[in-house]
A and B are shown apart, each in its own frame.
Chain A
């Protein structure tokens, strides 16, 4: 009986971990995409402000 539960639990854990990871990635990517598309070209840089100003 434990074997049965272990098998389905393993499947559930694998699938939900993968799905959650993808959801978090999606969240991060969608936000980053919105940021990049919203900014005007001169300001859209990854360099920190103090280097950018130099």
Chain B
């Protein structure tokens, strides 16, 4: 099957991508048109659907980054490093969106853009861990070395994960423990979380594939240069 000439993707992947996009657009439609308006905060409350979805994906990205790093340690296969990097990139984007959407919501709900309460602090630390790992990876050229160092850092970074997740239960802060929603809202929230997870999983899958491709090209180019 020939790849599409523009995107370099096989038609099957494009089709899946189209489906994923459709899923996300349906979720957004549900959020804006079907979800009931919340009593206290009004329309702005709809941010919560996005915020919880991207927060969940960010944590999943961190977990994926660490797990794939651990699998690289075990198997020494660069494919696992590509999966780890893809998960890290997508996870970082989601962490950024979590902080941005959370900040926007906080401004409406609490009147401040930021507060140093446990969950927010732990989330910012997670964002910084992602950023630090990218910086280190960018500075290393040799693939296996980069994979090794990235894997150890990713595994260390997992230490912040339980803090972010359990912060609202272990410490007293202002971040809500769970959203106050009725049944219909919860269903739409579930739909949103599922569709965004599928979206980011698709992006990570494509990115991982792309990293493998880049590896192939780099190898061929180094062979060609050696001739």
Using a CB–CB cutoff of 8 Å, the interface residues on chain A facing chain B are 1, 3-4, 6-8, 10-11, 14-15, 18-19, 22-23, 25-27, 29-33, 36-37, 39, 41-42, 44-47
Contact = CB atoms under 8 A, between A and B. Distances in A.
B159 to A, nearest CB: 26
B224 interface: yes
Nearest to B51: A7
B112 to A, nearest CB: 14
Given A7-B50, A29-B8, A32-B217, A19 B97 contact: no
B224 A27 contact: no
B166 interface: no
B158 to A, nearest CB: 24
Contact of A7 (B96, B101, B206): B101
B107 A30 contact: no
A8 B227 contact: no
Given A8-B28, A36-B220, A30 B44 contact: no
B61 to A, nearest CB: 13
B198 interface: no
A44 B227 contact: yes
Contact of A36 (B6, B107, B214, B217): B217
Contacts of A41: 224, 227
Contacts of A42: 227
Given A11-B101, A18-B203, A25-B210, 14 more contacts: A3-B44, A3-B105, A7-B104, A10-B100, A14-B96, A15-B203, A22-B210, A27-B6, A27-B8, A29-B210, A29-B213, A32-B221, A33-B220, A45-B227
Interface centre among B9, B44, B199, B224 (most CB of A within 10 A): B224
Given A22-B203, A27-B8, A46-B224, A3 B213 contact: no
Given A15-B203, A22-B203, A31 B97 contact: no
B221 A27 contact: no
Given A36-B224, A42-B227, A30 B47 contact: no
Contacts of B89: 18
B43 A1 contact: yes
B27 to A, nearest CB: 11
Interface in B1-60: 3, 6-9, 28, 43-44, 46-47, 50-51, 54
A15 B46 CA distance: 19
A47 B199 CA distance: 41
B93 interface: yes
A4 B227 CA distance: 57
Nearest to A12: B28
